Chains A and B, each alone.
Chain A
């Protein structure tokens, strides 16, 4: 446990180091919270009282991370599924009051904020009720199942002035922050395309103890509760694309299908989309559930280089020369062993450049913990970070517009009412 704590202090110190670049701070306001932070324990005053609504797999992860954040009391937990309810009590050693109904929790507990990690279709009404109850809210991505619900959440956030942070942990990830800093410094030139993908080889189905719980447990597979790959996976990567391109798409087109898993799922098992931006930049996205060879990545491509943040690599378009002696040996080797063509193709296939690039940043990585630290710090101050909510909002809207494009087989323009202007 001591080692764990030490690591977590190190994570915060790393963020503090990134935040020390003042030029960068203005473009990432939520880094302000980490500036000057040394990660050491501070006096146990000003504690933040939180409740957690939804303690399934993601809620459990958030709870465990929050338990490592200084000056946080998890005073209440809520879940309407018995095994999760019991697990939440266990995880908090019985110290938190447990509820089946979040409304009772909001009525009875004196909270500063809530963390919402329920199935997607429940995000909107719980968030809106919590904000209206005067609480700050951390809500897992994606925001909501429908565009209207996203808008209602945004409107309530604005009207109440309370924090509404959407769980896009990459916004707090030191590798992504460093990558963005390098993009701003012009290291990869002008971004012209972001190619993002998330490939898995599984059906997403979880074991169900009894048939009537099928839709409750496997909610990701049903259209009523989820937009499938779009809200669960693509939302993370569209957020990254928008963030790095620094724009909101103007339109989206796409295609989705159920090509492999024939087990009653309603949501697509593969999707492919193109998001256009007003400067001609594009985000090309695809997600697959029947092949995991390529895994996940966001390939941020500029005229001078490429960034692959998931694998922590940056590649220059002008590949550094190999040392002279190696070039000489390679050329001699080629001269001796290469096949001499007599006839055949007059071109060489333009396959991928074989170049391992450089590491973006040497950082230990726990972005979920860092985003929870960020949320707690904001709750302490009582004010949302500028432009943080905007990232989650545009990502949530984007994936739902993408779904609309696929469902209706049309090119969908981004409506003006779903654009939030940048705060300065």
Chain B
């Protein structure tokens, strides 16, 4: 069986993308609170939803990245 090695650089890159996704979800929460005039306590109160949302965004981004890399490989 072949070992798959993930370089530290790649791990750092993925964590950075995940962090960006979390920040995007967090900002989306602030936008939603303002748009729907709900309580500002939801910034912390809905953190569990933000975590789930950031994972969803991360996976959507991952799929887009896979498609993009596939297209790029096809043209090389």
Given known A328-B28, A328-B31, contact A321–B53 (CB-CB < 8 A): no
Are B35 and A325 in touch, CB under 8 angstroms? no
B23 on interface, CB distance cutoff 8 Å: no
**Quick one: which of B28, B31, B34, B45 contacts A323, CB cutoff 8 A?**
B45
A341 on interface, CB distance cutoff 8 Å: no
Write out, one digit per residue, whether chain B residues 22-39 have a CB within 8 A of any chain A CB (1) or not (0). Answer: 000000110111111110
Interface SS of chain B:
helix
Write out, one digit per residue, whether chain A residues 316-335 have a CB within 8 A of any chain B CB (1) or not (0). Answer: 00000101111111000000
Are B42 and A329 in touch, CB under 8 angstroms? no
Are B53 and A324 in touch, CB under 8 angstroms? no
Collect the chain A residues with CB atoms within 8 Å of residue B49's CB.
323, 325-326
Are A328 and B32 in touch, CB under 8 angstroms? yes
B50 on interface, CB distance cutoff 8 Å: yes
Are B35 and A328 in touch, CB under 8 angstroms? yes
Collect the chain B residues with CB atoms within 8 Å of residue A325's CB.
28-29, 32-33, 42, 46, 49-50, 53
Given known A326-B49, A329-B53, contact A321–B28 (CB-CB < 8 A): no
Collect the chain B residues with CB atoms within 8 Å of residue A329's CB.
53
For residues 1 through 40 of chain B, which have their beta carbon under 8 Å from a beta carbon of chain A?
28-29, 31-38
- Give chain B nearest CB distance to A327 CB in angstroms: 5
For residues 306 through 348 of chain A, which have their beta carbon under 8 Å from a beta carbon of chain B?
321, 323-329
With most chain A CB atoms within 10 A of its CB, the pick from B38, B42, B46 is B38
Which residue on A lies nearest to B50, using beta carbons? A325
Collect the chain B residues with CB atoms within 8 Å of residue A324's CB.
29, 32-38, 42, 46
Collect the chain A residues with CB atoms within 8 Å of residue B31's CB.
328
- Give chain B nearest CB distance to A334 CB in angstroms: 14
A328 to B49, CA, bound (A): 12
- Chain B residues engaging chain A, CB cutoff 8 angstroms: 28-29, 31-38, 42, 45-46, 49-50, 53
Q: Which 9 pairs, one residue from A and one from B, show the smallest C-beta to C-beta distance?
A: A324-B32, A328-B32, A324-B38, A324-B36, A324-B33, A325-B32, A325-B29, A327-B36, A323-B42
16 pairs from A and B in contact (CB 8 Å cutoff): A323-B32, A323-B38, A323-B46, A323-B49, A324-B29, A324-B32, A324-B36, A324-B38, A325-B32, A325-B33, A325-B49, A325-B50, A325-B53, A326-B46, A327-B38, A328-B32
If A323-B38, A324-B38, A325-B46 are given as contacts, then 4 extra A-B residue pairs at C-beta distance below 8 Å, sorted by A number, are A323-B46, A324-B35, A324-B37, A328-B32
